[in-house]
Chains A and B, each alone.
Chain A
Amino acid sequence: MRILVVEDDADIAGFLCKGLREAGHVTDHAPDGRHGLFLATGEAYDAIVLDRLMPQMDGLSMLAALRATGSRVPVLILSALGQVDERIKGLRAGGDDYLVKPFAIAELLARLEVITRRGLMPAAENRLRVADLELDRMAHSVKRGGEGIALKPQEYRVLEFLMRHAGQVVTRTMLLEGVWDYHFDPQTNVIDVHLSRLRAKVDKAPWKPLIHTLRGAGYCLREPE
């Protein structure tokens, strides 16, 4: 993918571009909002990584200006402000996702993937299917290889989230935001415990595992190779 990084801090920008290139993307870098807007309106990007606080033109103003030109390129906002209302402000200004600094590059890659491939498994789809795993949203039922699996409501929601993002990396924070309707600090690794329980039901032998743990990043539900 071709990605524009708009970030005034040269170190962070360098780290971002390097990480993105290592993941196989092509990057351009703009050191401020004005420059970023110039590039974003002139070139075709698959996604923009946008810093919230910058000199010249701050991230939200640039985003507003960009959206005003009719551009619908996915934008991931980076910010040092972690408050809930800041996040809402960012999304309302036209951002597709919001990531709080500091962050792991794996988290950024996972989120970029989600916002650029949004719509692969539409949220309105009633039946989600990955390999022989099937989730029926109408009946709230899950089957693997035709055999019914009994899941607790929470396990069901986690699985649904993973299946909607099948093939993509889903980080712990994304799970927290997507599955639990609370903004909170998860304390100990409860998410991992949830996942291991879900795995014990969905991926038990002799089935081939579908849910994979990616070290330092999160989880991914995908078809076995």
Chain B
Amino acid sequence: MRLSTSARLTLANSALLAASFSALLLLVTWLADRFMVGHVQESVEAELHILDAELNVDGLRGVIALIEQRMQSITLNHDRLYRLEDARGLPLAGNVEQWPETTAGPEQSFKLPSRKYPGKTEVVLQWKPLATGGRLLVGFDEIEVAQVRGDIRRAALWSLGAMLIVSLSAGFLLTRAALRPVEAIRAAAQRIMEGDLRHRIPARPNGDEFDRLGETLNSMLDRINTLIASVRGATDNIAHDLRSPLTRHRSRLEAALSNPPSPEELQPWVEKHLADLDQVLATFQSLLRIASVESGLLRQEFAHCDVTALVRDAADYIEPLTEDRGQQLSVSVQPGPPLRGHRHLLFQLLINLLDNAIKHAPAGSAVRLSAEHLADGWQLAVSDAGPGIPAAEHERVFERLYRLDVSRQTPGLGLGLSLVKAIAELHRGVITIVDQHPGTRITVFIPHRAAVD
């Protein structure tokens, strides 16, 4: 089973705390132990010296009396050993029947198991030869050390337990509180998944990492929503825009059913209808293309484009058309930095503007294509000497399938300028239509900041 983040954080934190706490306790125990053991040893040493000094004051008798006095005053729970023997090894005083076997030299500490508390503690001993011959042995038990050691251990276990309980519960509560925004985000995502596309992650005023995450996710959701809306809009538009040509086509076919074309008429009749259908397909293709440009996703394909090459290529491509119509195509490009944009779409934009101008300009007139580098972007312009666009219709010419009354007779789908507009907007560009009397100049300004995001 995978633990929740909150549980994992709490456990890790508590384990770390417990480990450092235990280390601290071990250190304290060890220090206390060392101190107390040292203390016992010092006491043994001091006792040995006191007794030795008594020898100089009152002689052996004094020492014996002192040892006996000491043995009477031993408290019940202490285990203290004394033995005073003469040069022949006979005991003079003390409670040790036999001199213990030891390799320790005079005034060196050694340990023996306690007789009073067997297995529980030890006795620290030292011996010293006496100036009168014979020797003196003193030993103090370490029972207090063992007791204190036990006390510390008990206290340590209790406090460790208490600390674990506190740190586990506090950790759990704290991490749960800290991770609550994550749960809020998850719940919001769940609601959105279940179909409430308008729902957003609730905003909180703290401005911490989670709030920023929530804000970013919310703007991402907004962006996705816009995309969905634009796709839906495109589908609706396509359905709407294709309905009328298809209806027209259908009624013609229906008419043919009741009034079939004669065998001689059949070939041109079928060809005409094929051409009509091709037109519908072309419209469909163009609408899809506009929708895909409008989605903004093609910004990912932006690269640096050489404007001079772009303009020359477009002019070269379209030039036979102007020649065919006896028009003059003039091209002027100023040198400038590359333009960051979609190469194929910018080419399409120029072709569409030129195609439009050539179609509407009278034979023998001039069509101009220019590219100028301004302070903060490129300005592409196409001008013609055609009939012009009435001021009231400047906006409408960019609508899909919109055609001016005067241009109903020229071939075209009425989508060329819509695509121009979509491409310009993809590049965050601005289109302006200027009446030149006669003719029209359409400029597309594409700022360098199109490159930003």
Pairwise interchain contact B317-A180, C-beta atoms closer than 8 A: yes
Residues of B within 8 A of A183 (CB): 344
Given A153-B316, A197-B320: A188 in contact with B359 (beta carbons within 8 A): yes
Is B348 close to A, CB under 8 A?
yes
Is A83 close to B, CB under 8 A?
yes
Residues of B within 8 A of A190 (CB): 317-318, 320-321, 355
Is A185 close to B, CB under 8 A?
yes
Pairwise interchain contact A182-B347, C-beta atoms closer than 8 A: yes
Interface size of B by CB at 8 A reads: 26
Is B286 close to A, CB under 8 A?
yes
Residues of A within 8 A of B416 (CB): 187
Q: How far is the CB of A223 from chain B (nearest CB, A)?
A: 26
Given A83-B292, A184-B351, A187-B352: A193 in contact with B324 (beta carbons within 8 A): yes
Chain B contacts to A: CB under 8 angstroms:
281, 285-286, 288-289, 292, 313, 316-318, 320-321, 323-324, 343-344, 347-348, 351-352, 355, 359, 411-412, 416, 419
Residues of A within 8 A of B317 (CB): 154, 180, 190
Given A82-B288, A83-B292, A193-B324: A184 in contact with B344 (beta carbons within 8 A): yes
In Å, the complex CA distance between A182 and B361 comes to 26
Residues of B within 8 A of A208 (CB): none
Chain A contacts to B: CB under 8 angstroms:
82-84, 102, 152-154, 180-188, 190, 193-194, 197
Residues of A within 8 A of B344 (CB): 84, 182-184
Residues of A within 8 A of B323 (CB): 197
Given A82-B285, A102-B281: A184 in contact with B355 (beta carbons within 8 A): no
Offer 10 A-B interface pairs, CB within 8 angstroms, sorted by A: A82-B285, A82-B288, A152-B316, A180-B317, A185-B285, A185-B286, A188-B321, A188-B355, A190-B318, A197-B323
In Å, the complex CA distance between A149 and B186 comes to 73
Least CB separation from A184: chain B residue: B348
Residues of B within 8 A of A82 (CB): 285, 288
In Å, the complex CA distance between A83 and B298 comes to 11
Pairwise interchain contact B288-A193, C-beta atoms closer than 8 A: no
Q: How far is the CB of B192 from chain A (nearest CB, A)?
A: 28
Pairwise interchain contact A193-B321, C-beta atoms closer than 8 A: yes
Least CB separation from B343: chain A residue: A182
In Å, the complex CA distance between A151 and B412 comes to 30
Pairwise interchain contact A184-B347, C-beta atoms closer than 8 A: yes
Q: How far is the CB of B426 from chain A (nearest CB, A)?
A: 15
In Å, the complex CA distance between A186 and B348 comes to 8
Residues of B within 8 A of A153 (CB): 316
Least CB separation from B345: chain A residue: A184
In Å, the complex CA distance between A181 and B289 comes to 19
Residues of A within 8 A of B288 (CB): 82
In Å, the complex CA distance between A182 and B351 comes to 11
Least CB separation from A190: chain B residue: B321
Q: How far is the CB of B28 from chain A (nearest CB, A)?
A: 70
Least CB separation from B275: chain A residue: A216
Q: How far is the CB of A181 from chain B (nearest CB, A)?
A: 8
Residues of B within 8 A of A188 (CB): 321, 355, 359, 411-412
In Å, the complex CA distance between A154 and B411 comes to 25
Given A82-B288, A102-B281: A187 in contact with B347 (beta carbons within 8 A): no
Q: How far is the CB of A98 from chain B (nearest CB, A)?
A: 15
In Å, the complex CA distance between A16 and B82 comes to 120
In Å, the complex CA distance between A188 and B281 comes to 15
Residues of A within 8 A of B347 (CB): 182, 184
Least CB separation from A103: chain B residue: B281
Pairwise interchain contact A182-B321, C-beta atoms closer than 8 A: no
Q: How far is the CB of B232 from chain A (nearest CB, A)?
A: 19
Least CB separation from A157: chain B residue: B316
Neighbour of A194 across the interface among B281, B320, B352, B359, CB < 8 A? B320
Q: How far is the CB of A150 from chain B (nearest CB, A)?
A: 15
Given A153-B316, A154-B317: A187 in contact with B355 (beta carbons within 8 A): yes
Q: Beyond A180-B317, A188-B321: 18 further Cβ-contacts under 8 Å?
A: A102-B281, A154-B317, A182-B313, A182-B344, A184-B347, A184-B351, A185-B286, A185-B419, A186-B351, A187-B416, A188-B355, A188-B359, A190-B317, A190-B320, A190-B321, A193-B320, A193-B321, A197-B320
Residues of A within 8 A of B359 (CB): 188
In Å, the complex CA distance between A59 and B81 comes to 100
In Å, the complex CA distance between A123 and B426 comes to 37
In Å, the complex CA distance between A185 and B284 comes to 12
Q: How far is the CB of A101 from chain B (nearest CB, A)?
A: 10
Least CB separation from B410: chain A residue: A188
In Å, the complex CA distance between A184 and B324 comes to 22
Least CB separation from B324: chain A residue: A193
In Å, the complex CA distance between A190 and B27 comes to 92
Least CB separation from A181: chain B residue: B313
Least CB separation from B320: chain A residue: A193
In Å, the complex CA distance between A183 and B285 comes to 14
In Å, the complex CA distance between A5 and B390 comes to 54
In Å, the complex CA distance between A197 and B351 comes to 19
In Å, the complex CA distance between A69 and B285 comes to 36
Most buried by B among A154, A183, A187, A197: A187
The 10 closest A-B pairs by CB, nearest first: A193-B320, A187-B355, A184-B348, A182-B347, A183-B344, A182-B344, A154-B316, A193-B324, A197-B320, A194-B320
